[in-house]
Amino acid sequence: MMQACNLSKLAQKEGAFLYKNKIDIKEARESRMFSSNIDAYIKQIPNKRILQVTRLNLRMYQLGNAFPNTWLGRTIQKKMGEAPVILDSNLIESSTRGIAGYLKTEGYFYPTITYDVVGKAHKKTVIYKISTGKAYHIYRIEQHIADKKLDSLVQSQFELSHIRYGNPLKFENMLKEKNRITDQLKDQGYFSFSKDFIEFDLDTAMKNYRAMIGINISNPDGFKKYNTYKLNKIFIEIENKDHSGKISDTTHLNTFSYQFNNFPLNPQVLSRALLIEPKQSFNQTLSSNSFSRLNDLQIFRSVNMSAIPHNEQTDTPSIDYIIKLQPSTKYDFTIEPQAITSDQSNLVTGSTGRNYGLASQITLTDKNVFNHAEILQLSYRLSVEAQRGFNIPSSTFFNSFESNLSASLIFPKLLFLPKLDKRWNKFTNKSQLTATFIWEENVNWIRNVYAIGFSWQKIRPYFNQYFVPAEISYIKTDFNNALLAEQSKNDPYLQSVFNNNLVTASRYGFVFNNQGNIRKKHYTYIKWDVLELAGTLIDQVYPILGIQSDTGFNKFLGVQYFQYAKTFADIRYNRYLDENNRLASRLAIGVAIPYGNSPDFVPFDKRFFTGGANSIRAFLPRSIGPGAYNAEGNTDRSGDVRLEFNVESRFNILNHFIEGAIFVDMGNIWRIKEDGRNEEVFAFNTFYKQLAVGSGLGLRLNLDFLIVRLDAAAPIIDPRKPLNNRNVLSSYSDIGVLWNNTILNFGVGYPF
């Protein structure tokens, strides 16, 4: 079996392996720009490597040869192995032609491309030696459009052109310009115009690598003019769900006609969704946005929108729209069983760990509740967990319970903001009213949470903005542990945790996510709660009403309310290296500042914590911070400042079913105000000395619909130790010590 892994013997039979492709671009600037893109034009790709080092799949393929003509050998080769990539000179020549073609599209019309094949007899590396030469730049632009009206329209938006003086002569920009001109003209009523009508002339015979580009649009059939189209009729039909076969009469409104066929929908919903109307010039953008807005109502299973042209041979052609809508089911009912794990901090002993348990969530969705396309969603979740730790009885296996009842009502418009709703008609606008009740009991406390909120959302592709003008939550917590109750009498932190908690907040933020853009191999995700303010509105009422407080703090409904300002950003970047390797990174940064009516602490649920399966994995959840403070018996591991950075190399091990990772995490939390503890406050001249750093390996089972994750990590820098002893890497004298300091983290999904 070991002999079977001898790749040199396999190469003697099959031929030399292609082990590596190397791109050597003579020009430094072009090398930085094009090296990664040229990879796509190389026809032969070497066998995949794990961590860019070992070719395990190739060796498994060869291992299968140790069991010739057997089920075991075929299984190893097909399921775990990868056939060797044998060097092919014809494909190398084809690659050089592909590279030359690509460079031409970037403006380098006369590159010099050669190649060398080097390496051992069975390990060959192909070095593609490229001299791009100089790129041609646009020196002159000429526009030849036979139709004078079209010529004037295109010229009016020339400042938006992708073809500009002095820019490189890139084919990509020509394609973008074709699409831009086509979209512009279609938005001006030219329904029948196609990008195929646009042609480019290139002249690279000028000196000093200067080029002329001509933009040509000829008239149809050589002499006809392009006509603009007007919208004539709009007809909407909702699929008949009446099994009697009766078809309702057609109803005519000012802007469209429709057959509702007993579907209970107020026509104002369709009027608001449609951005097109009769006698309007054809506009492709408004038509596309209308289609999207009808889909976004979430009450139709399918939307079919057909534009039918009429009288195309006349000077006044027109378009009829036929829109067919198929309703979705009114009710959706789902039951979701779950296996769960959560972080747990024992407030009595200060120890930390993880809980494991079971949960089930039942969700009922009612669509078109009040016949205006509203969506009502009711959800109930029940969970039980086994909480373990020092002095916790194990006689009752499940000793942590949570019951969560929530409701949300979504409106397909900006409630109370009709002018903005109409002005932002290119976007999908929503309003959402939410209410939540949570009951939780564990070995430490019994907690009741009551929350209600209202939000507006403005949604467009890859970018979602949200504004929460009002969000009110009341949290009532009672001790479920006599020792903890006694301990809290002299512990300000525990007192802040168990005080009744009233938060009245407003929040604005956005989410950017271009992962759905199939043209991008790399993607970025940004979620930023730009600003959250709590207690401000209530605080302004007291001086207006002349209310005086006899305790030094204002109260609302008998409870001292919180005032704070908070911002938090989660920034992720996922970089594609090749089909088997990705590099993922995340930066999490946030600040919460208490002031006014609660100058010392922000609410417990609004504080920052670190450590655990989705954070710094080499440390248990809530086991480090704030800063380098680590007094014995310290139970307060919360902070007002959070800074965290993670980077992870993800690689395919077996058919994208089993994946691996190697990662490094660093970060910490800090207090923003002094409270008598050492090294707990964030300061620019000391924070970098208090960063926790850990590294480790991960294994993931990718089931497509679910990713099960196991990460093992060990500390490298531990801020809980004295300053000169925080680098703990040298203390791992043998594998046993390293194992004793390793933290295992189970999780579902990627950590970021």
Q: Would you state the pLDDT for residue 4?
A: 45
Q: Would you state the pLDDT for residue 1?
A: 41
Structural domain includes residue 567:
no
Structural domain includes residue 372:
yes
Q: Would you state the pLDDT for residue 244?
A: 55
- Between 76-85, 88-97, 361-370, 633-642, the lowest mean confidence (pLDDT) is in 76-85
In the predicted model, what is the mean pLDDT of residues 58-77? 81
Structural domain includes residue 411:
yes
Q: Would you state the pLDDT for residue 52?
A: 55
- Asked if the bond preceding 626 is cis, omega within 30° of 0, the reply is yes
DSSP 514: -
Using CA atoms, how far residue 337 sits from 360, 377, 380, 386, in Å, is 4, 18, 12, 17
How far, in whole angstroms, is CA 392 from its chain's centroid? 40
Calpha distance 100→119 (Å, rounded): 25
Q: Mean pLDDT, the chain, as a whole number?
A: 88
In the predicted model, what is the mean pLDDT of residues 296-320? 92
Neighbours of 22 (CB within 10 A): 13
Calpha distance 271→249 (Å, rounded): 19
Contact 438, 448 (CB under 8 A): yes
342 with 476, same domain: the answer is: yes
- The answer to whether residue 29 scores a pLDDT higher than 70 is yes
The percent of residues above 90 in pLDDT, for the chain, comes to 59
Contact 496, 453 (CB under 8 A): no
Tokens of 168: 């490189």
State which of 188, 203, 222 marks the end of a domain. 222
Highest mean pLDDT among 213-227, 307-321, 368-382, 600-614: 368-382
Domain assignment of residue 192, given as a range:
137-222
Q: Would you state the pLDDT for residue 2?
A: 44
Calpha distance 214→296 (Å, rounded): 42
Number of domains the chain contains: 4
Calpha distance 624→693 (Å, rounded): 11
Apex 322 CA angle, 320 and 328, nearest 5: 160
Question: In sequence order, which residues have a C-beta less than 8 Å from that of residue 433 and are 6 or more positions away?
Answer: 408, 409, 411, 452, 453, 454
In the predicted model, what is the mean pLDDT of residues 345-372? 80
Element (H, E) at 148: helix 148-156
Calpha distance 556→345 (Å, rounded): 31
Neighbours of 419 (CB within 10 A): 8
98 with 213, same domain: the answer is: no
Structural domain includes residue 718:
no
- The answer to whether residue 227 scores a pLDDT higher than 60 is yes
- For residue 288, the domain's CATH number is 3.10.20.310
Using CA atoms, how far residue 140 sits from 104, 137, 169, 177, 206, in Å, is 19, 9, 11, 16, 10
Tell me the whole-structure pTM to 2 decimals: 0.81
Q: Would you state the pLDDT for residue 159?
A: 92
Calpha distance 613→657 (Å, rounded): 21
Q: Write the DSSP assignment of 158-204 as a string of letters.
A: GGG-S--TTSB--HHHHHHHHHHHHHHHHTTT-TT--GGGEEEEEE-
For residue 501, name the pLDDT band (cuts at 50, 70, 90): confident
Give the closest residue to 695 by CA, choosing from 723, 718, 720, 672: 718
Structural domain includes residue 593:
no
211 with 235, same domain: the answer is: no
Contact 282, 230 (CB under 8 A): yes
Q: Would you state the pLDDT for residue 486?
A: 80
Of 392 and 411, the structure prediction assigns the larger pLDDT to: 411
Structural domain includes residue 421:
yes
Contact 652, 607 (CB under 8 A): no
For residue 548, name the pLDDT band (cuts at 50, 70, 90): low
State which of 418, 451, 484 marks the end of a domain. 484
Q: Write the DSSP assignment of 23-66 as a string of letters.
A: EEESSHHHHHHHHHHHGGG-S--PPP-BTTTB-HHHHHHHHGGG
121 with 141, same domain: the answer is: no
Contact 478, 513 (CB under 8 A): no
Q: Tell me the pairing of strands 17-25 and 123-131.
A: parallel
Q: Would you state the pLDDT for residue 587?
A: 98
Tokens of 222: 């050589």
237 with 187, same domain: the answer is: no
pLDDT one-digit tens code per residue, 281-292: 999 999 999 999
349 with 449, same domain: the answer is: yes
470 with 367, same domain: the answer is: yes
Give the closest residue to 47 by CA, choosing from 72, 74, 21: 21
- The answer to whether residue 21 scores a pLDDT higher than 50 is yes
In the numeric block, the tokens 């010392």 are attached to 600
Q: Would you state the pLDDT for residue 570?
A: 98
212 with 245, same domain: the answer is: no
Calpha distance 312→167 (Å, rounded): 40
279 with 202, same domain: the answer is: no
For residue 162, name the pLDDT band (cuts at 50, 70, 90): very high
Can you state the percent helix, strand and coil of the chain, rounding each to 5?
A: 20, 40, 35
pLDDT one-digit tens code per residue, 620-657: 888 898 999 988 767 788 999 999 999 999 998 887 88
SS3 510: strand
Tokens of 385: 């967990």
Structural domain includes residue 264:
yes
Tokens of 485: 């109750």
200 with 242, same domain: the answer is: no
State which of 202, 222, 242 marks the end of a domain. 222
Whether the CA torsion 280, 286, 291, 293 is positive or negative: it is: negative
Q: Would you state the pLDDT for residue 47?
A: 82
Calpha distance 324→258 (Å, rounded): 10
Q: Would you state the pLDDT for residue 550?
A: 61
- Between 50-64, 86-100, 163-177, the lowest mean confidence (pLDDT) is in 50-64
Q: Write the DSSP assignment of 62-109 as a string of letters.
A: HHGGGSTTSHHHHHIIIII-----B--HHHHHHHHHHHHHHHHHTT--
Q: What is the dihedral of CA 139, 145, 151, 157, to 10 degrees?
A: -40
pLDDT one-digit tens code per residue, 252-281: 888 999 998 889 999 999 999 999 999 999
pLDDT one-digit tens code per residue, 677-725: 889 999 999 999 999 999 999 999 998 878 999 999 999 999 999 999 9
168 with 283, same domain: the answer is: no
Tokens of 434: 């939410």
Q: Would you state the pLDDT for residue 391?
A: 62
278 with 180, same domain: the answer is: no
- The answer to whether residue 3 scores a pLDDT higher than 50 is no
Calpha distance 549→597 (Å, rounded): 11
Structural domain includes residue 532:
no
